[in-house]
Amino acid sequence: MSDDTIVAAHDKAAAGTPDTHAQYRILPLVLLFVFSGFIFYAGAYLGRYSGRFSGEIFDERQVPTSGQPVVAAIDPLVLGKRQYALACVTCHMPNGQGVPNLYPPLAGADWVTGSEERLIAIVVHGLKGPITVNGNVYSAAAMPAFGQVPGGGYNWSDERIAAVLTYIRQEWGNEAGPITAQQVAAVRTAHPDRKEWTEPELLALP
């Protein structure tokens, strides 16, 4: 461009005459700012919620959930069998026959398939003194408390006790209904300061 052309262009600009030959518009600048804002927002969003794109977080095959942890339900008979093997099998034997004249049997025992409250009370609070099972007297020194009671014991939860009682009531040919955690809690609450039961005290229960 010559000097005269430059001066003429300057005079047009100074006079306020728009330069239509340059095709200048404000719209491209607006779009630039808008798209820049989108890019900034997307970057900030990914930085916060991407989880570093870990495969442990993102799984397109995962079924949507409520976000609450899911606890798998355990079959009471499975849990009861496990609890029996942990603490009961030593005295009552794997076959539920017990030890003659010492530890009473559970297989076919009237105490097991009979009163639910008496059975729960024995396991929750413990038993001391002799007990007659199916017409035979068993003179074990004591059975410890398994429930969450003052003074300790095995401190099993109501669910664990319910499970093991359900197991022994349905094992070795026994055919009795299940015991629930609510039933165990009711017996425990009804006798909050109870120590070991004796047979006469248990027979007074319904």
Instruction: Identify whether 70 is part of a domain.
Output: no
0.85 cut: is pTM over it? no
DSSP per position, 120-138: HHHHHH-EES-EEETTEEE
pLDDT, one tens digit per residue, over 101-142 is 999 999 999 999 999 999 999 999 999 999 999 999 998 768
Q: How many domains is the chain partitioned into structurally?
A: 2
Same domain, 158 and 111: yes
Instruction: Kindly report, residue by residue over 50-68, the tens digit of the pLDDT.
Output: 766 665 665 656 666 666 7
User: What CATH number is associated with residue 177?
Assistant: 1.10.760.10
* CB-count burial class (<10 Å; 0-12, 13-18, 19+) for 151: exposed
Mean pLDDT across 144-165: 88
d(CA 186, CA 147): 12
Round the average pLDDT of the chain to a whole number and report it.
85
Same domain, 100 and 158: yes
Pick from 22-26, 149-153, 198-202: least confident: 22-26
Same domain, 110 and 26: no
- The number of angstroms, rounded, from the C-alpha of 130 to the middle of its chain's C-alpha atoms is 40
**DSSP state at residue 193:** T
For position 61, what pLDDT does the model report?
A: 65
Dist CA 92 CA 105 (whole Å) = 6
Residues 95 and 191 placed together within one structural domain of the fold? yes
- H or E, element range at 174: none
Question: Which range of residues forms the domain containing residue 94?
Answer: 76-203
Q: Is residue 167 located within the same domain as residue 103? A: yes
Asked whether 179 and 162 are in contact (CB, 8 A), the reply is yes
